[in-house]
């Protein structure tokens, strides 16, 4: 297991380096025009553009520009010249809202997705399975912004059950933090619950027909024990893969619509605002950190794979 983790770690380092080079080329080297002008913004004066060019080393060789760009990103010194703020400080300020949304929604969609998938697989062809299938299709087909707007109107405005959006830090008021995030959690989770339950159902039904499952049942082992100890464990592998990618995507801005509808002011909403302003520095930093998060979480998922299925370590 230790050897597997070491091999995976070396691979992660190589992928992270490739991502940093590719991101640099996409933002700085490949597009036509002056990269200093893109970073400085549309309203920058010629002197400001010249200052940006000198600070980022755009008058030096390409490899020097790469190391300067990476140094600025990882030292936290990238500044949004349009908004006049430090990008990393803005991300740190908005990250608690995004993490709160992603972690809470992730727990909900993973738990309910597994529960509904198991129930649907065990009752395949029966009324419960058909009902869960309809609910899954409705959840997958419902846009987040529509569901969020309906929840805000009925649960927040009309019936006054939950607050009308906004975010309260956990350290400030835990109960208000919880109540403000309940609707965003469920609005973001509905789509994933439908997808995960369908994936788990199909995987479990396929696994139930494997020879080792039939052999275990033939030896007299109860159906529930075979399902929980063998079928479910092997069927969770694709679900965990999806969860790792989806969770990283949500943290990196995949919850833009949810954050915007409920006014959470997280990293996703910050990225959307920067795109609207054509503010390149925040987009550059968020893209880099998001890609890194996806790779690191993917490596963690691979380790979980190995724990679930020892054959993967080979």
pLDDT tens profile 120-141: 888 888 888 889 888 888 888 8
C-alpha 183/C-alpha 104 separation (Å) is 11
Listed in order, the ranges of the chain carrying CATH 1.10.3720.10 are 91-309
DSSP state of 79: E
Distance of CA 238 to the CA centre of its chain: 16
The set of residues, in sequence order, having a beta carbon less than 8 Å from that of 235 and lying 6+ positions away, is 200, 203, 204, 207
Residue, of 64 and 232, whose pLDDT is higher: 64
| CA distance between the termini of the chain | 10
Give the number of other CB atoms < 10 A from CB of residue 58: 21
C-alpha 1/C-alpha 7 separation (Å) is 10
Q: Are 166 and 205 in contact (CB under 8 A)?
A: no
Tell me what pLDDT residue 253 has.
66
DSSP state of 64: H
Q: What is the H or E stretch that residue 49 is in?
A: helix 46-56
**pLDDT digit string (tens) for 203-246?**
888 887 777 777 777 777 766 677 777 788 778 878 887 887 78
pTM of the model: 0.82
- What does the chain come to in residues? 314
Residue 3 has pLDDT above 80, yes or no: no
Q: Given this structure, which CATH class describes domain 91-309?
A: mainly alpha
């Amino acid at each position: 297991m230790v050897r597997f983790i070491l091999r995976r770690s070396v691979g992660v380092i190589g992928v992270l380096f490739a991502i940093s080079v590719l991101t640099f080329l996409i933002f700085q080297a490949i597009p036509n025009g002056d990269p200093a002008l893109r970073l400085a913004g549309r309203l920058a004066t010629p002197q400001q553009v010249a200052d940006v060019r000198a600070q980022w080393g755009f008058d030096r060789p390409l490899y020097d520009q790469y190391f300067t760009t990476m140094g600025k990103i990882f030292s936290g010194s990238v500044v949004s010249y349009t908004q006049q703020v430090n990008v990393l400080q803005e991300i740190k300020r908005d990250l608690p809202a995004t993490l709160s949304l992603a972690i809470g929604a992730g727990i909900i969609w993973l738990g309910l997705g597994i529960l509904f998938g198991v129930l649907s697989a065990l009752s395949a062809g029966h009324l419960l399975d058909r009902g869960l299938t309809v609910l899954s299709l409705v959840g997958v087909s419902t846009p987040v912004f529509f569901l969020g707007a309906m929840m805000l109107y009925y649960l927040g405005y009309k019936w006054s059950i939950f607050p009308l959006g906004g975010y309260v830090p956990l350290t400030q008021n835990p109960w208000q933090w919880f109540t403000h995030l309940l609707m965003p959690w469920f609005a973001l989770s509905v789509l994933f619950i439908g997808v995960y339950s369908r994936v788990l159902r199909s995987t479990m039904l396929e696994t139930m027909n494997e020879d080792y499952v039939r052999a275990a049942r033939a030896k007299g082992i109860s159906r529930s024990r075979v399902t929980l100890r063998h079928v479910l464990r092997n069927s969770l592998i694709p679900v965990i893969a999806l969860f790792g990618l989806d969770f990283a995507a949500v943290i990196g801005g995949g919850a833009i619509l949810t954050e915007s509808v409920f006014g959470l002011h997280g990293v996703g909403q910050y990225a959307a605002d920067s795109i609207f302003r054509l503010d390149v520095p925040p987009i550059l930093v968020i893209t880099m950190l998001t890609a890194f998060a996806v790779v690191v979480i993917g490596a963690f998922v691979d380790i979980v794979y190995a724990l679930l299925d020892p054959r993967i370590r080979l």
